[in-house]
């Protein structure tokens, strides 16, 4: 009994001290980098504000050291045999003007179309000039080009979630980052929430503002690059995959929805191993697990259902100090 008290006292102190418990979550990874390359970037082409999801879904692309985004872009389109047009050269003044796309029926979300339609009147008032209106006109050449549908539409690119301040020919890519070409139809990236429209467009309540898709892009590209993992996803996580893609493709998705659907997909792909006593799910039973049970007992920690199941070592349906002691004793 004395020993128990001493253990409990020590555990309580340790639990108080352990304010931060690292989380161990399995997830997709980058494949081996091919010979002669520096690492992978995630590349995608998005037209979600047109209602057309992604023209090229997030994919991993191995990149050379010092390679510019213009060079990577030209290489990807060439390797895929994908139509594209640009002005300047890949080395200098590269400006993407069109990307192969079969869609012709815009499905612009209502909140955005309302802004576009309201804009000419605002611009006339502010600048005594009218530009940026929705015309809906396009050339049916299976290329989505700048100034189609909207007089100020065009191609821009993002490095992670930032619109770059230099041209694609001047930006050296960084392995591990996500690069996205976006077809903007309002405020030079304002529709994607990545620009203030240079003060020339009125601010509006934009659901894309502050929402990052970078982590989702990279995870999706990693899953797609792994044939076995992709098969598993279709096999055991079809619903989760669809929910995640639906969230990713919808410009009105909140960060919370994108994050939670990704977490659900990863949880389905990497089911946690159930080891009695392993509360933090790192695959082993250690003092960290004892601390977690202590902290939970003291109301300092919340635990997921699977963690609670592993924590209830004596199986009485309650996670308390008795379980902490049992787990502590099971550690040598």
Beta carbon of residue 185, minimum distance to Ca ion (angstroms, whole number): 14
Mask of contacts with Ca ion, 121-140, x by CB under 5 A?
-----------------xx-
In Å, how far are 96, 134, 194, 228 from 222, measured between CA atoms? 26, 37, 25, 11
- Decide: is 292 part of the binding site for Ca ion (CB under 5 A): no
Residue 162 DSSP SS3:
strand
- Which listed range, 88-96, 189-197, 252-260, 308-316, lies at the site for Ca ion (CB under 5 A)? 308-316
* Cα angle 42-193-180, degrees, rounded to a multiple of 5: 15
- Decide: is 282 part of the binding site for Ca ion (CB under 5 A): yes
- Which listed range, 43-51, 62-70, 77-85, 319-327, lies at the site for Ca ion (CB under 5 A)? 319-327
Beta carbon of residue 270, minimum distance to Ca ion (angstroms, whole number): 16
* Cα angle 242-45-257, degrees, rounded to a multiple of 5: 35
The number of residues making up the chain comes to 332
Residue 102 DSSP SS3:
coil
Judged by beta carbon, residue 57 or residue 282, the one nearer Ca ion is: 282
Beta carbon of residue 289, minimum distance to Ca ion (angstroms, whole number): 4
User: DSSP readout, 184-252?
Assistant: E-STTTTTTTS--GGGSS-----TTTT---HHHHHHHHHHHH-HHHHHHHHHH-HHHHHHHHHHHH-TT
Half-sphere exposure of 52 (CA within 13 A, CB side): 18
Beta carbon of residue 224, minimum distance to Ca ion (angstroms, whole number): 27
- Which listed range, 6-14, 118-126, 265-273, 277-285, lies at the site for Ca ion (CB under 5 A)? 277-285
Judged by beta carbon, residue 186 or residue 296, the one nearer Ca ion is: 296
* DSSP code, position 92: S
Judged by beta carbon, residue 47 or residue 219, the one nearer Ca ion is: 47
Among positions 31, 314, 329, 331, the unique one binding Ca ion when judged by CB under 5 A: 314
Among positions 312, 325, 327, 328, the unique one binding Ca ion when judged by CB under 5 A: 312
- Which listed range, 8-16, 60-68, 162-170, 271-279, lies at the site for Ca ion (CB under 5 A)? 271-279
Burial class (CB in 10 A: 0-12, 13-18, 19+), 69: buried
User: DSSP readout, 52-87?
Assistant: --EEEEEEEEEE-TT-BHHHHHHHHHHHHT--EEEE
- Decide: is 169 part of the binding site for Ca ion (CB under 5 A): no
- Decide: is 240 part of the binding site for Ca ion (CB under 5 A): no
Site for Ca ion in 184-213 (CB under 5 A): none
Among positions 289, 293, 294, 325, the unique one binding Ca ion when judged by CB under 5 A: 289
Question: Which DSSP helix (H) or strand (E) runs through 147?
Answer: none
How far apart (Å, rounded) are the C-alpha atoms in residues 160 and 165? 13
Judged by beta carbon, residue 25 or residue 318, the one nearer Ca ion is: 318
Beta carbon of residue 229, minimum distance to Ca ion (angstroms, whole number): 25
Q: 204 CB contacts (<8 Å, ≥6 apart)?
A: 111, 115
The footprint of Ca ion on this chain (CB under 5 A) covers a number of residues equal to 14
Among positions 141, 162, 231, 256, the unique one binding Ca ion when judged by CB under 5 A: 141
Helix-strand-coil split of the chain, %, nearest 5: 40, 15, 45
In Å, how far are 90, 140, 177, 266, 321 from 93, measured between CA atoms? 7, 27, 23, 41, 67
Phi, psi (deg, nearest 5) at residue 96: -70, 125
Beta carbon of residue 13, minimum distance to Ca ion (angstroms, whole number): 20
- Decide: is 297 part of the binding site for Ca ion (CB under 5 A): no
- Which listed range, 9-17, 150-158, 162-170, 311-319, lies at the site for Ca ion (CB under 5 A)? 311-319
Beta carbon of residue 285, minimum distance to Ca ion (angstroms, whole number): 6
Residues that bind Ca ion (CB under 5 A): 138-139, 141, 143, 145, 278, 280, 282, 289, 312, 314, 316, 318, 323
């Amino acid at each position: 009994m004395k020993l128990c008290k001493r253990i409990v006292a020590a555990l309580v102190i340790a639990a108080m001290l352990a304010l931060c418990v690292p989380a161990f979550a399995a997830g997709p990874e980058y494949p081996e980098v091919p010979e002669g390359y520096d690492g992978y970037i995630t590349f995608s082409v998005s037209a979600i504000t047109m209602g057309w999801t992604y023209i090229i879904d997030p994919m991993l692309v191995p990149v050379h050291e010092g390679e510019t985004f213009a060079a990577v872009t030209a290489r990807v389109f060439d390797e895929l045999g994908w139509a594209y047009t640009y002005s300047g050269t890949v080395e200098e003044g590269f400006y993407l003007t069109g990307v192969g796309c079969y869609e012709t029926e815009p499905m612009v979300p209502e909140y955005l179309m309302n802004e576009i339609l309201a804009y000419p009147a605002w611009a006339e008032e502010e600048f005594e000039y009218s530009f940026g209106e929705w015309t809906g006109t396009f050339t049916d050449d299976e290329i989505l080009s700048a100034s189609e549908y909207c007089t100020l539409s065009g191609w821009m690119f993002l490095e992670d979630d930032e619109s770059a301040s230099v041209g694609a020919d001047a930006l050296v890519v960084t392995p591990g980052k996500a690069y996205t070409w976006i077809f903007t139809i309002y405020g030079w990236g304002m529709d994607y929430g990545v620009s203030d429209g240079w003060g020339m467009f009125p601010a509006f309540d934009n659901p894309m503002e502050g929402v990052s898709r970078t982590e989702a892009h990279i995870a999706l590209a990693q899953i797609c690059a792994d044939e076995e993992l992709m098969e598993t996803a279709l096999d055991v996580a079809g619903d989760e995959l669809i929910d995640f893609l639906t969230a990713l493709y919808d410009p009105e998705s909140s960060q919370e929805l994108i994050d939670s659907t990704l977490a659900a997909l990863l949880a389905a792909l990497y089911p946690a191993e159930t080891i009695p006593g392993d509360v933090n799910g790192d695959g082993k039973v250690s003092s960290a697990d004892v601390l977690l049970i202590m902290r939970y007992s003291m109301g300092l920690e919340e635990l997921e259902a699977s963690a609670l199941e592993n924590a209830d070592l004596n199986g009485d349906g309650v996670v308390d100090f008795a379980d902490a002691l049992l787990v502590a004793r099971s550690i040598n």
